[in-house]
Amino acid sequence: MALRDPDKTRLKLLSIAANLFQKKGYNGTSLSDIINEAEVSKGALYHHFANKNELLYSVIDELYRERFLSPWRDVIKSQDPIQAIENVLHNIGKNADVKEMCNGCPVHNVLAELGATDEGVRLRINQMHCDAQKIICDALEISKDRNIINKDVDSNKVSLFFMCGINGMPQLVTSCQNVEVFQQLTDALADYIRSFKMVD
Amino acid sequence: MALRDPDKTRLKLLSIAANLFQKKGYNGTSLSDIINEAEVSKGALYHHFANKNELLYSVIDELYRERFLSPWRDVIKSQDPIQAIENVLHNIGKNADVKEMCNGCPVHNVLAELGATDEGVRLRINQMHCDAQKIICDALEISKDRNIINKDVDSNKVSLFFMCGINGMPQLVTSCQNVEVFQQLTDALADYIRSFKMVD
Amino acid sequence: MALRDPDKTRLKLLSIAANLFQKKGYNGTSLSDIINEAEVSKGALYHHFANKNELLYSVIDELYRERFLSPWRDVIKSQDPIQAIENVLHNIGKNADVKEMCNGCPVHNVLAELGATDEGVRLRINQMHCDAQKIICDALEISKDRNIINKDVDSNKVSLFFMCGINGMPQLVTSCQNVEVFQQLTDALADYIRSFKMVD
Amino acid sequence: MALRDPDKTRLKLLSIAANLFQKKGYNGTSLSDIINEAEVSKGALYHHFANKNELLYSVIDELYRERFLSPWRDVIKSQDPIQAIENVLHNIGKNADVKEMCNGCPVHNVLAELGATDEGVRLRINQMHCDAQKIICDALEISKDRNIINKDVDSNKVSLFFMCGINGMPQLVTSCQNVEVFQQLTDALADYIRSFKMVD
DNA sequence: ACTGCCGGGACTCCCCGTTCAT
DNA sequence: ATGAACGGGGAGTCCCGGCAGT
């Protein structure tokens, strides 16, 4: 129903779709699932989104992308970017929503399901990975300049592996349904990144 | 077809289903897709498997599981398990089939799509993760005994993070469609595991 | 758009609907097709026409009917109505728009699609047939009076068959997509009507 | 239901579809209409026909075509083909099923609705027209040889116009819902064809 | 008075996983 | 092991109201 508030209706659809796609997968989620939970008619949905695929793209562009990148954006503004990265890891490890985590990372799930067949999805998520890696890579370079880490660290390789770690976590958490595992993993990744610091 | 060879038919269905599930996802693959590619009748499929879900379970149990675990089984028999792990990583990095890799890891894809809704899938894959982690963990313990790595290494944490790295790789490769990335990642993971070796 | 000209908007909708109904059929034409081509909003359409069915009726009443009847109206004013009919046939044969013809006669198409289920359509088109036949019938009677044709001609039967010929033409042209066929048919129909002339 | 008789099921669907397409048009007939009347499941329909369009093509090829051509096939075997044509016209005029007639000719209706947009339909019906015209044309030629009609008759033109008459009839009957009109028209067409006979 | 945006559902064709008689 | 039949959804489209502002 929702007496005439297009933006609100759109956002509602978007966020409900985001949740369902994460939990049940893209192909596992029917538009009926979405409109039922949103208490909105099919006409409303198709007024806002051309089709299911466009809805997914909007979800990725407007929700998943921000959720994925925002935690990292500030690390390069810090005096000690390495410390900042550790802090971010610590925070997401501590504040992880159990239910959310156990459904895996939405970005990750969508990529695993559709990456091989839907170029639109793949390119969007690749962009996210690149953007995030760029931030980490910059953080490493800055840290070299400031003599926080060794100059012979291969920033590209390390930042790539960092992204790999980030991507692997939700997988393990989903499979064992245990959030503690997530904290161990963020710890371990923090250890990894800290291992490049200069010994003083 | 019609050449009565039940086991062959079954295996054919199994391996075609394995490929399609990996590439197009479970919900994205229809039974018609499978029987068309296998050139087998619908009745034949239902003779061998109770339903689509059981087919998936069989695929996991009989194909995915072995593919996932077999490379690691021998590392604990080696004199230097750490070196053995590095070798395995090097091999899978070098021999990676481009097309296969770019579709992501089948285990991983299935978990991402169904992990949150299908306990049968989740438990099977969790078991694989645990079994693999156990191997790595044992390898680390053995290496401690043999003074290959430091005794204060937290084998559980490291092996867990190792699994995390393993799980994150196909994700990144899928998104950028570039196998070189895979080699860089196996390298980086090898670096990681080597970093625990005693300095002599 | 937005240039407030209600009559123009209405006429635009009417004539675009007329074309689309002819080409794609009534059920094959969606209101979206119409408003897209007319560059008019849905609200505008519904302001001018109560619903799709009323739009069709208006199309028939205001456009199809005139197009169908106007060529024949003057034949009875002629000194030699038979000659006048031949002339009309000759003209429509010669001036036939290729594209238009190959889509069939709009009146005809609508009747064929909806005649059996929509009384409103059937009655309107029946009226057109009757009116046209009346003209031809009158032309024959006048010609009898003036000794142009034999007095024993059954005007009703001939005029009915004349209408039959008129109705059958577009059908054949549509099926073979060849306007020459149309000219042959108008010729043949002219031959038919001329065959009743007195031999002098 | 319907205890396993594929051919029967198929034919049932075909003939019910044939009736509904004639009465309500192609776009006006839903697959639900068809399966409800046939008391057959949706799956059964899609087992026999790839889609709605293929169903239509099958209806045309297997039912409409025969109904349309069969009455004329024997006229060229007759001693007096012209007389045979008259007889056929007389028969279909006399035996016309009221209800059927008032829904128009199925071939005709389908062509009017879809001829401009569906080549498959157009080509099929064009073939029927050509085949029928060929028969009439041959009948005229044979009649010339046997001195039944004048040698200067343009067989092609006359047979074409004959087809035109055949095609126009159902149109008029549909619009006035009066079968007597049909008899008058078959009479008039018989008159027309007879008019070419030699006067003895 | 007239037009535009938002929304409502029923209905469309089609496909899916599954069962059953053969 | 076959393939005909089943029936429940799948996404998407349709025609249509109703509120807002001109």
**What share of chain D has pLDDT > 90, as a percent?**
82
Q: How distant is C1' of E13 from CA of D52, in Å?
A: 8
Q: How far is D161 from D154, CA to CA, in rounded Å?
A: 11
Supply the pTM of this predicted model. 0.91
Torsion of CA D108, D112, D116, D119, to 10 degrees: -30
C-alpha to C-alpha distance for B34 and B37, rounded to whole angstroms:
5
Q: What is the spatial distance between Cα C193 and Cα C86, in angstroms, rounded to a whole number?
A: 8
- A 10 A CB-CB count for D137 gives 20
Q: Note the pLDDT of residue C2.
A: 44
Backbone phi and psi for residue D197, each to the nearest 5 degrees, phi listed first:
-65, 150
The single-letter code of the amino acid at D28 is: G
Choose, out of C172, C187, C195, the residue to mutate when testing the contact with D (most D CBs < 10 Å). Answer: C172
* Binary contact (A168, B166; C-beta < 8 A): yes
d(CA A161, CA A166): 9
pLDDT confidence tier of residue D52, bands split at 50, 70 and 90: very high
Q: How far apart are CA C158 and CA C140, in angstroms?
A: 9
Spatial distance between the Cα atoms of C3 and C6, rounded to a whole number of angstroms: 9
Does residue A197 belong to the interface with chain B, where contact is any CB pair within 8 Å? no
A42 touches strand F (CB under 7 A): yes
| Interface residue A28 vs chain B (CB under 8 A) | yes
Answer for D50: CB within 7 Å of strand F. no
SS3 C19: helix
User: What does the radius of gyration of chain B's CA atoms come to, in whole angstroms?
Assistant: 19
Distance in Å from F14's C1' to C31's CA comes to 9
**Confidence tier at A3 by pLDDT (50, 70, 90):** low
For residue B17, pLDDT over 80 is answered with yes
Computed over every residue of chain A, the mean pLDDT equals 92
Per-residue pLDDT band at A2 (split at 50, 70, 90):
very low
Q: What is the Cα gyration radius of chain D?
A: 19
Nearest chain A residue to B167, by CA: A168
The maximal CA–CA distance of chain A, rounded, in angstroms, is: 64
**Hey, is the C-beta of B11 within 8 angstroms of any chain A C-beta?**
no
Which candidate, B48, B11, C170, A117, places its Cα nearest to that of D171? C170
pLDDT of residue C74: 93
Give residue numbers, 41 to 100 of A, with CB < 7 Å from strand E. Answer: 41-44, 46-48
What are phi and psi for residue D27, nearest 5 degrees? -70, -25
**Mutant choice from B23, B172, B195 vs A, greatest count of A C-beta within 10 A:** B172
Residue pair B18/B63 in contact by the 8 Å Cβ criterion: yes
B83-137 per-position pLDDT tens digit: 999 999 999 888 877 777 777 789 999 999 999 999 999 999 999 999 999 999 9
pLDDT at B175 over 90: yes
Distance CA B156, CA B138 (A): 9
- Find residue C186's DSSP bridge partners: none
> Is the distance from CB of C166 to CB of D164 less than 8 angstroms?
no
Q: What is the pLDDT of residue A132?
A: 97
Please name the residue that has the structure tokens 């089939």.
B97
Q: Which one-letter amino acid corresponds to residue C41? A: S
Q: With contact defined as beta carbons under 8 Å apart, do D149 and D197 qualify?
A: yes
Interface subset of D 88-147, CB within 8 angstroms of C: 102-104, 108-109, 111-117, 122, 125-126, 129-130
Q: D102 with D169: CB under 8 angstroms? A: no
- In the predicted structure, residue B200 carries a pLDDT above the cut 60: no
3-state secondary structure of D149: strand
Range of weakest confidence among A70-79, A94-103, A122-131 = A94-103
Quick one: pLDDT at residue C97? 77
Burial class from Cβ neighbours inside 10 Å (0-12, 13-18, 19+) for residue D18 reads buried
Q: Select the more confidently predicted residue: C5 or A189.
A: A189
Are D176 and C129 inside 8 Å of each other by CB? yes
D181: buried, middle or exposed (CB in 10 Å: 19+, 13-18, 0-12)? buried
Helices (H), D60-154: 65-69, 81-94, 98-102, 106-114, 119-145
Per residue in A80-108, pLDDT tens? 999 999 999 999 988 877 777 777 789 99
